[in-house]
Amino acid sequence: MLPKSLSDHSPEIDSAFRRCPHPPPCSSRTPSFRWPPFSAPGPVSLSIPSLCTDRDGATSFLCALPFDIYTATGLVLVALLLLALVVLNQRKKAIISDTSKALEETEARYRLIFEHSPIPLLEEDLSTVKTFLDRLTSQGVTDINRFFADNPESLGRCAAMVRIIDANRAACTLYGAQAPGGLRQLSAVLPEDQNFLFKNELLALLKEGRSDIVMENRTLAGAMLTVERRAVVAAGYEQTWQKVIVSVNDITEQVRLRNENMAFERQLQQTQKLEAIGSLAGGIAHDFNNILAPIMGRAELMLVENTGNDPLRDHCRGIIEAAKRARNLVKQILTFSRQVDQEIQPVALAEIVREVIGLVRPTLPATIDVECNLPEGGPRVMADATQLHQVIMNLATNAFHAMEDKGGCLRFHLETVAVGINQSADLSVPPGLYQELRIEDSGHGMDQATIAKIFDPYFTTKPRGKGTGLGLAVVLGSLRGYGGENRLTGESARGTTFTL
C-alpha cells in the first residue's frame, strides 16, 4: 500500500532509493516532489511510484516514474485509432460479405436464365483472336478486311482459335450435343465456306463490339442449318474478348418457306403472263380464222368450176392445203388460250418423238448427231397429239440452235418413272407413274441467270429475227395443262437437259 502522504514517509523512500539495485536508471529519475503539484509554473510533471525488486528478487521498493500528460494524450489517441481501425475492419468485412452474397445471387440468376433460355446461347472465348488482330495492327496492318482477303488461310486459323466455353440446353439440342462439353470449338459447327461471314463478324466486333449476321452452320451430325447469329462482347472484356455472348436463332425452316413463297410468286407471275398472252392470242386467232374462211371457200369454188384446167386446179389444191395448215395453227393458238376444248386422248409418246425426229433430221447439219433411246410400246399418256408434237419440236429446235456453230449430239431418252411423295413436292405434281422424256444437247449451255428467266414469255437469247421467246412458255403451259412438269438443268459450256 502506498502511504497516504508522500512527505510523511520520505525517509523510507530515500532509504529505498539508496538500496536500489539499479542505481543509474533510478538515480537518473530522482524523484522531485512538489506539493501541491501545480505550485510553480512550467511543464507539469507527475511522478508515479511503482514497486521494484532487487537482483535477487527479495527486496521491494518504490520507484518513481515520470509520466508526461502529452504522452497520455498520445496513448489515448492511439487507442482511439486502433478502435476505429477495428470498427472499419469489421465494417469492411460486412461490406465484402454483402457484396459476395449479391454477386452469388446475381451469378445464380444469370445461370438460371442462361440454362433455361429457349434461345440457344453460347459463351465464347476470342482472346486468342483478339491478340492476333492486335498484333496485326501493331505491325502496321490497317485494313483487316483486305488482309483476310489476301490471306484466307489466316481467317481459317482464326475460326479454329475460337473456343466455346459454355452452351445452354437449347444450344446443345440445336447442334446435337449430349452435353456442353461436346461443343468446344467453333470450327466444329462452322463450315469452311462460311469463313467469309465469320470475317464480317470479327470486323463488326472490332468496330462496334457486337455483330448480327445470317450464316450457315452444321450440327455435330453434319446436318446444315441456317442461323441468325448475334454476338456481343461482355462488359469488362472489351480489350481481351475473353467472354463473348452469342445467341443463335435457327431460321432454317423460315428460309425454306421464304424460298418456296418466292418460287410460288414467280410461278404466279408466269401464269399471269401466260393468261395475258393467251387472251391476246385468242383474239388474233379468231380474226385470222375469219380471214381464212373466205380464202378456203374461194379456192374450193375455183376447184369445182375449173374441172378441165388441171394447172389451175393444182394451184387451188395448194391454196386449200395451206389454208388447212393455217387452220390447224389457229386451232393450236385457241387451244393455248384455252378458248376451245383440247382433244385429249391416249397418245403413244414414243411415236410422236419419232415423228419429230423424222421431220428434224433432214434439216440438221452433218456436225450434229441424233441418238434415241425410245422403248417399243410402253404406257400411253392422256394428251393432245398436236400439242405434244409442238412441245417436242420447240425443244428440238432450241437444241439445234445451241449446237449450230460447233456441232454436237442431240439425245432423246424416254422411260417410265414412279414419282414418290417426297419427289412430288419438288416437282409440283401428284405422286404416281409418269412418262419421263429427256432431251439433251451438248451445246453452249446456260448460266443460272438465264435459267431463272428461260420460261418467261418474250424472253429469248436468240438474235432478232430468230426467236420470239414464246416457245418455252408454250412448252411449260402445255405440260402443266396435262398435269405434268418441266425441269431444266444446264451449265455453261456443258449443254442443257430438258426433262418432261
The domain limits of the chain are 6-67, 117-250, 257-336, 345-499
- Per-residue pLDDT tens digits for 247-276: 999 999 999 999 888 888 887 777 777 677
Which of the pair, 77 or 280, is modelled with greater confidence?
77
Overall average pLDDT of the 143-149 stretch: 91
487 confidence band (pLDDT: 50, 70, 90)? confident
Which of the pair, 95 or 389, is modelled with greater confidence?
95
Radius of gyration of the chain (CA): 52
Residue 221 three-state SS: coil
Helices 471-481 and 252-305, axial angle in degrees (round to 10): 100
Dist. CA 304–CA 72, nearest whole Å: 155
Report CA dihedral (289, 293, 296, 297) to the nearest 10 degrees. Answer: 180
Dist. CA 285–CA 217, nearest whole Å: 56
> Would you state the CATH architecture of domain 117-250?
2-Layer Sandwich (3.30)
Which of the pair, 385 or 54, is modelled with greater confidence?
385
Smallest CA-to-CA distance from 199 within 153, 163, 138, 261 is with: 153
Dist. CA 26–CA 64, nearest whole Å: 8
- For 42, the grid coordinates are 512550467
Mean pLDDT of the chain: 79
Same CATH fold assignment for domains 117-250 and 345-499: no
Residue 46 has pLDDT above 70, yes or no: no
CA 415, distance to chain mean position in Å, is 41
DSSP 417-468: EEE-HHHHHHHTS-SEEEEEEEEEE-S----HHHHHHTTSTT---SPTTS--
Which of the pair, 205 or 289, is modelled with greater confidence?
205
463 confidence band (pLDDT: 50, 70, 90)? low
CATH 3.40.50.300 fits 345-499, yes or no: no
Smallest CA-to-CA distance from 19 within 49, 63, 50 is with: 63
Residue 284 has pLDDT above 70, yes or no: yes
- Per-residue pLDDT tens digits for 389-418: 878 888 888 888 888 878 889 899 999 888
Dist. CA 110–CA 356, nearest whole Å: 74
Which of the pair, 38 or 286, is modelled with greater confidence?
286
Q: What is the pLDDT of residue 424?
A: 65
Number of residues written out for the chain: 500
184 φ, ψ to 5°? -120, -30
Smallest CA-to-CA distance from 215 within 224, 207, 204 is with: 224
CA 414, distance to chain mean position in Å, is 42
